[in-house]
Amino acid sequence: MTARDTVWVLGDQLHRGIGALASATPDTHRVLVVESLGKLASARWHVQRAHLIVTAMRRFVAELRADGFEVDHRVAPSMGAGLAEHRATHAPARVVATEPNSFDARRLMARLGVETVRSDQFLCHADDYAPWSAGRKAPKMEDFYRWQRARLGYLMDGDEPVGGKWNFDADNREPAPDDAPTRWPAPPRDALDDLDAEVLAHVAPHCWGAPPDGTWATSRAGARARLRHFTDHLLADFGTYEDAMTRHSWHLAHSMLSPYLNLGLLHPREVCDAVEAEYRAGRAPLNAAEGFIRQVIGWREWVWNAYWRDMPGARTVNALAARRPLPPLYRGERTDMACVRAVLTDVHDHGWTHHIPRLMVLGNLALVAGVDPWALTEWMWRAFVDGAEWVMVPNVMGMSQYADGGRVGTKPYAAGGAYIDRMGDWCDDCRYDRTRRTGEDACPFTTLYWDFFLRHADRFARNPRVARQVHSARALADGQAVRVRAREVLAGLDDGTV
């Protein structure tokens, strides 16, 4: 009997129609799926993240078997060990895989002699990005996004953008409305079954956080249902309140589709197609449809290509020489900062919060405190259900922490209490005063914001996006008092008294 080829499917490639699996048939290919015990034990993951990935893998195995595939599903000490066991048992003619979504996995495939085929899990492959970026001294996301819109055809009227503008971001910065507590329906939930319980028992010893409650879909059918929920109930409000933060809703009008996109349960094309269809049918305003599609074909694909452009060095950059250990509050220790406490509670309870609390609360605090950027990146990678190295390295090391010196984002995303008060609603119940930068009741964000620009004044004085802030910091009459209070705040972050 002629040996069959094996398609090795990784845990973030759970889609029948992508890469190597797209052309495979039950008659010609066997499928290999490996769960790595070493990966699971390598860190303390949020339990909802570990549960989501492992359960989705096992459901995908069942779906492939129902389609007639012979699937060799192995739980092994490592990925390499799982492949070795598979080869010893089945002696495949070839082992082929879709290009992995991480740098280390691609190196592993090469070392193990696994053939790879081009991935179409994203809408802009590195082979497409390279010619576009060639010769550009500093490629900008906005330029990339416009190129993507034109080449993919989303929200276009011939050669021009629908509505006469490429970007409606100025319309998408409203704080949460007064009816936020009841405005948006709760996310759908699926009843947990025996497989969920089995996986939870398997992963729980390595994890932290609130256990899964059915919020995160673990199958393609469930992910598609979440997409329909978004387009039917939330999309119309997505744009306007995209940047809002509120104690009254942990999800607001966000799609919460990133975990499914990152695991392959949804494809970016089907998501963007669904959103554009809502706009074309008159059921979603242009600022919402454009804002969402920009997040997917613009920012998400920009980050994906920035990862491959800058790896492996992107993991070790530290342009601001930030060395402070991650404060214990990120690991669940107490804090009196109401905004930080609320956001970290959401992370504990759901393994998720949307991009503005991630950037402007959790990331902002680490930036102005001078926290080691890789320590924050690793924490976020482990804490969020949509975590992946390709997501976290450019987003956290680059945009959030400015560790790459401005390759991903052209300014440091530092902000004081005024921004958090404008876009959120925590400050009124906080023991700190967001208007004060000195004194025991001064908002730690406000103090550290001014201290940040005093510390890094020489670096940012000529940056056109923040030069004004540097000038204002240098002009402070109480600049020395700010520096003294900043040292007290940093000590309090270290010992859990802030």
How confident is the model over 268-319, as pLDDT tens digits? Answer: 999 999 999 999 999 999 999 999 999 999 999 999 999 999 999 999 999 9
- Which residue carries 């809002």 as its tokens? 244
CATH 1.10.579.10 at 328-495, yes or no: yes
206 alpha-carbon distance from chain centroid: 22
Task: State phi, psi for 72 to the nearest 5 degrees.
Answer: -95, 100
Tell me, what's the pLDDT at 3? 74
Give me the helix-helix angle, 126-133 and 141-152, nearest 10°: 120
CATH 3.40.50.620 at 5-117, yes or no: yes
Which residues 6+ apart lie within 8 Å of 341 measured at CB? Answer: 335
> Which of 385, 172, 349 is CA-nearest to residue 261?
385
Whole-angstrom distance, CA of residue 94 vs CA of residue 9:
14
pTM recorded for the entire structure: 0.96
CA distances from 160 to 153, 156, 166, 217, 345 (A): 10, 6, 8, 37, 44
Whole-angstrom distance, CA of residue 186 vs CA of residue 134:
45
Q: Does the pLDDT at position 1 exceed 60?
A: no
Segment 150-181, tens digit of pLDDT: 999 999 999 999 999 999 998 899 999 999 99
Q: Tell me whether the CATH fold assigned to 5-117 matches the one assigned to 328-495.
A: no
Q: Which conformational region is residue 193 in: left (phi greater than 0), alpha (psi within -120 to 50 degrees), or beta?
A: beta
Q: Does the pLDDT at position 225 exceed 60?
A: yes
Tell me, what's the pLDDT at 231? 98
Span 51-76, average pLDDT? 98
Domain ranges of the chain: 5-117, 126-184+234-310, 328-495
Segment 436-474, tens digit of pLDDT: 999 999 999 999 999 999 999 999 999 999 999 999 999
Mean pLDDT, rounded, of the chain: 96
Tell me, what's the pLDDT at 295? 97
Task: Give the fold, CATH level 3, of 126-184+234-310.
Answer: 1.25.40
Segment 89-134, tens digit of pLDDT: 999 999 999 999 999 999 999 999 999 999 999 999 999 999 999 9
Whole-angstrom distance, CA of residue 71 vs CA of residue 56:
15
Tell me, what's the pLDDT at 59? 98
Tell me, what's the pLDDT at 138? 83
Tell me, what's the pLDDT at 2? 60
Q: Which two tokens stand for residue 282?
A: 């008159």
